[in-house]
Chain A
Amino acid sequence: MTTFKRPDGRKVDELREMKAKVGVVPNAEGSAMFSFGDTIAIAAVYGPKKMHPQHQQNPAKGTLRCTYNMISFSVSDRIRPGLSRRSTEISKITQWALEPVLRIDRFPNMVVDVHINIIQANASTRCAGINAATLALAHAGIEMNDLVSSVSIGKLDKQLVVDLNKKEEDFEDGEGATDIPITFTSTGDKITHIQLDGKITTEQLKEAVKLGKEACKKIYEVQKTALKNSLEEKNDK
């Protein structure tokens, strides 16, 4: 466990420096920034508002609509602006990651829009996006049972590590890199999202999930502090 050297010198269970701030987009009902090191995501919430077109309205419960988008200069090789197949998938994954904690059933026929933009990317962008989105939803005052916290667990050769960066994502020695982004309810232990690319035994995967839960506890602390700070700022005014 201790002999493995990560490219940026972190301990295997060490996250990059995290930052979170609530209220970064004044126009929105709720908004937040969340970063893992150089990976920076911002999210803004608009709604609940009436769903249009009308035939998409659901009288049983509201609709959560997430849009994940990377800005063109967030990576070294310029991305063509607009939605890609990748971003369409991540948008849906993000919605699924958030829905279990959201009381969207309180808003029949309505829609809540969550827009996530990646300002700067160094891997784990969907996790940073989910972490920002859950804060933005809380900031918007939309009823939730819990927050969610998201992290990527990696396996580099045989070693499990927490919060992959780009260099680690491209790791090629031994068994190469396995990337497991995972999202938990913040105070519970429910998994609301998990994906995997790579190669790992079921035994080690179970261990990875456990490691993810531990990391998410640290993320939750950062999220909680950001929300508390925003309340204090409000009270000061």
Chain B
Amino acid sequence: MINKSNLIKQRIEKYLAEGKRFDGRTPEEFREVIIETGVSKHAEGSVRVKIGKTEVLVGVKMNVGEPYPDSPDSGNLMVTAELLPLSSPRFESGPPRFPSIELGRITDRGVRESKFIDLKKLCIKKGEKVWTVFIDIYSINDDGNLLDAAGIGAIVALKNAKIPKYDAKEEKVLFGELSEESVPLSKEIPLPVTIYKIGDNLIIDPTKEEEDVSDTRITVGSSEGVVFSMQKGNEKSLSIEEFNKVMDLVKKTEKERNLKIAKFLK
């Protein structure tokens, strides 16, 4: 039997060897990014991120709860992702499977490890009451690179979020009433970028077609040359030399890509 995906893979590799891609981009070129903020009135912060035909919705919600015993004076962060069946024929309803769990966890680590949110400032009463920040990610259309779309979405949604009003006497959150106060964030913006390996080539921002034939990928959460989080995905390996190239590529593409996003970060 002829394996169709193998044929596509061969063709994609052949193109990449000449520095070309099906959609006319160079291997190191990000697709056009469109970011729309405030897309849900009931979220503390919300954003729609479009990378080419890929689209995600990310919302920030906040609630007051108990801190974890090992961090009594810190707020909590919870990131979940749902790969909506609406967004691709491959996604099915039911309990979360690995891809959506991974998407949530990689995005979580990008935000958490970079200390982008100052969780200490989200403590209301040590050991008793702290803010929990929920970041919820929903795929609307999957045409590759949901990882970066979710990561960008999480950062921008946090940037736009306002903390709800809190009645300290009644110990109640007044949902729907937002204060003027933003979520305490660091100045450094830890945007993730995922590098994909196809044959001997490295690319960023794959379409679904490219993602399908890729051998392995590395998601790197970094800001100005400092790496906070990293995760390699899929079975195939990577040589040390290739790994070094990945690091160079992260640095090289960061600027151009961030420029595409900067206008939405204010």
Contact = CB atoms under 8 A, between A and B. Distances in A.
B196 interface: no
B84 interface: yes
A81 B80 contact: yes
Interface string B53-97: 100010111010000000000000000101011111100010110
B40 interface: yes
Given A26-B141, A71-B57, A81 B82 contact: yes
Contacts of B175: 76-77
B40 A73 contact: yes
Contacts of A74: 40, 42
B41 interface: yes
Interface in B20-65: 39-44, 46, 53, 57, 59-61, 63
A25 B141 contact: yes
**Contact residues of B: prevailing secondary structure:** mixed
14 contacts: A24-B140, A25-B141, A26-B143, A27-B87, A27-B88, A28-B89, A38-B41, A42-B86, A44-B87, A67-B85, A72-B134, A74-B40, A81-B80, A82-B96
Contacts of B63: 78
Interface string B120-155: 000000000000001010101111000000000000
Nearest to B80: A81
Contacts of B95: 82
Interface stretch (A115-123, A175-183, A213-221): A115-123
Among the interface residues A49, A117, A121, which one has the most CB atoms of the partner chain B within 10 A?
A117
A113 B87 CA distance: 12
Among the interface residues B41, B42, B134, which one has the most CB atoms of the partner chain A within 10 A?
B42
A75 interface: yes
A196 interface: no
Nearest to A120: B40
Interface of B: 39-44, 46, 53, 57, 59-61, 63, 80, 82, 84-89, 93, 95-96, 134, 136, 138, 140-143, 175-176
A7 B191 CA distance: 43
Interface string A22-49: 0011111001000000100011101001
Contacts of A120: 39-42
Please give me the 7 A-B residue pairs with the lowest Cβ-Cβ distance, nearest first.
A73-B59, A73-B43, A115-B86, A76-B175, A78-B61, A76-B176, A44-B86
Interface residues of A, number: 33
A113 B86 CA distance: 9
A73 B136 contact: yes
A81 B140 CA distance: 15
Contact of A72 (B61, B89, B141, B143): B61
Given A27-B88, A67-B93, A119 B80 contact: no
Contacts of B87: 25, 27, 44
A135 to B, nearest CB: 14
A21 to B, nearest CB: 13
